[in-house]
Structure 1
């Protein structure tokens, strides 16, 4: 009996430790947003900031993937698998969702602040998660839109309205807040595409690399068009830490992949969401955007977004198998 109690205590302590570690890992998200936001403000070009962030992440992943024979072969085999129809095209281009989020960091964080940005992003993710679960996108079974999940989506909308409420008199600020919200909506199906590429290639490292590659190519192509049409000039920052956006994103992905085995998806999602929101508020207190103060409604909105995530993650009691046609397979 004593041995069983000790084992139970050890498991509880382990879960508590990994939960705390996940909260800290979640703080990497707002830190990445801060870096990319400051980079965008320094260059006066959020698009260029997103390109640099994706470029540094892609460079690191290429070093890792191309250094090993198995992952290198899987990496170069993906284009042929796409042409043969072995990989649904929408899965292959899931990296575009990440591009939208990183672009919104570079464009909006300097104006909105990290807390408002992160709350709007997470609110979009909550609604997207509810819809994707209902449609069976990226999950083995469909999850019905229960009262709890509907309430979670409603709270997510409320959280976004709260954090942007101090800017009702500035329509351009409202428009900026919509960008991370839309990024969150799009990002709901991104894990489905990444997991499909990971399954096909046999390596999530390959999947993450293609995610970065697709986003970098898309951002680069649009930037080349801008350069030709408007004379936009690309430049690199002289401050070293402004290159950390991509590596911070990779570190967050790696830690979440490691911790999910210990905590499961539900607890991991709640802990990482808490880390993102708490981290964003702490960053906003330490480094306020444009020297402004943190609004009380922003803190309340962040708490509402956390509640929305918690409620929306409650699984439905009954679920229907997701058909292949619904997932794009």
Structure 2
């Protein structure tokens, strides 16, 4: 028989450690944005940068999938499962969302700065999460709008306005900030689609690989068409760390999948969001070579985005508890 006091003590020690690990894992997102932003700056093309990032991630996933017979068979079954039409077609194309986010990293992160990029992205994700919950996308129970949820969305919008304030006199920069915000708005669809594909194929690894294939194919076709039209050129980066964008994203996904078991979705979401925002500000502050300036309103905007995410998530947690209680 376990001692309740011992169990409580272990939880008091373990949970903070898991939260810290999640904050650190959340910092991988800004690192990915910084890498892809520099690739985009070097190649002079966000589309080309996104192809490099998706390509490197796809190579890693292909090695993982091909190493096991079970995942090879699950992956080979995808065409048959698509023809069966048991899943709504849009689930198979959730990789489009990742393509938009990675494209925006290459096109805007080096200009906006990692902190501004991440804040606008997260703000879009907060609003996306509320809309997806309301429409029942990726969740078992639709969750209506309430005061806390609306307040979270308003704080997300306020955070976006704050981080772009220093560039208010530069319309081009404001327009660029729309890209990560749009990527964030689409982000609510991606986990729902990936989860559905994982359930259909029986493997999250297969789902992630398919996600990379879709994103890489769309971005690759776009780049090839542009090259044929003479509006783009392409050459591979010569610096090794510029191929780390895809693997960093994969590592982040893997760590979150492990950490969610010990923390739950609410704490995981808050801790990872904090990690993204803290990491992005640190990158801009500690690596001046990236050319991004951190203003006080940038830090304030990041803080507002974190508060907005927290306010928006709390009702979801309560709703999940109610649903669990009813099912017991």
Asked if these proteins are the same fold (TM beyond 0.5), I'd say yes
Q: Decide whether the 8 Å contact of 1:113 with 1:288 is kept in 2.
A: no
Which stretch has the larger CA shift, 47-56 or 287-296? 287-296
Which stretch has the larger CA shift, 242-251 or 79-88? 79-88
Aligned residue for 1:180? 180
Change (3 A) 1:288 1:178: farther
In the TM superposition, residue 12 of structure 1 has moved relative to its aligned partner by 1.5
Report the secondary structure of 1:138's partner residue: coil
Report the secondary structure of 1:313's partner residue: helix
Aligned residue for 1:14? 14
Aligned residue for 1:145? 145
2:84 paired with 1:84? yes
CA distance in 1, matches of 2:111, 2:184: 18
Aligned residue for 1:308? 308
Aligned-CA RMSD value: 1.7
In the TM superposition, residue 68 of structure 1 has moved relative to its aligned partner by 1.1
CA distance in 1, matches of 2:292, 2:235: 28
In the TM superposition, residue 76 of structure 1 has moved relative to its aligned partner by 1.4
Q: Decide whether the 8 Å contact of 2:113 with 2:292 is kept in 1.
A: no
The runs of 4+ residues in structure 1 deviating greater than 4 Å are 316-321
2:33 paired with 1:24? no
Change (3 A) 1:108 1:231: closer
CA distance in 2, matches of 1:264, 1:9: 19
Aligned residue for 2:235? 235
User: Map of 1:195-234 to 2, 5 A cutoff?
Assistant: 195-234=195-234
TM-score relative to the length of structure 1:
0.94
Which stretch has the larger CA shift, 76-85 or 51-60? 76-85
CA distance in 2, matches of 1:271, 1:196: 25
CA distance in 1, matches of 2:315, 2:275: 22
CA distance in 2, matches of 1:139, 1:149: 16
Q: Decide whether the 8 Å contact of 1:45 with 1:107 is kept in 2.
A: yes
Aligned residue for 1:171? 171
Q: Which runs of 5+ in 2 are unaligned?
A: 324-328
Report the secondary structure of 2:169's partner residue: coil
Report the secondary structure of 2:142's partner residue: strand
Q: Decide whether the 8 Å contact of 2:104 with 2:179 is kept in 1.
A: yes
User: Map of 1:49-68 to 2, 5 A cutoff?
Assistant: 49-68=49-68
Aligned residue for 1:278? 278
Q: Which runs of 5+ in 1 are unaligned?
A: 322-329
CA distance in 1, matches of 2:260, 2:252: 12
Q: Decide whether the 8 Å contact of 1:22 with 1:268 is kept in 2.
A: yes
CA distance in 2, matches of 1:183, 1:149: 20
TM-score relative to the length of structure 2:
0.95
User: Map of 1:240-259 to 2, 5 A cutoff?
Assistant: 240-259=240-259
Which stretch has the larger CA shift, 82-91 or 283-292? 283-292
Q: Decide whether the 8 Å contact of 1:90 with 1:193 is kept in 2.
A: yes
C-alpha distance after superposition, 1:201-228 (max 9, x if no partner): 1110000000000000000011111011
CA distance in 1, matches of 2:113, 2:153: 23
CA distance in 1, matches of 2:260, 2:22: 9
In the TM superposition, residue 120 of structure 1 has moved relative to its aligned partner by 0.2
Q: Decide whether the 8 Å contact of 1:119 with 1:302 is kept in 2.
A: yes
CA distance in 1, matches of 2:274, 2:288: 20
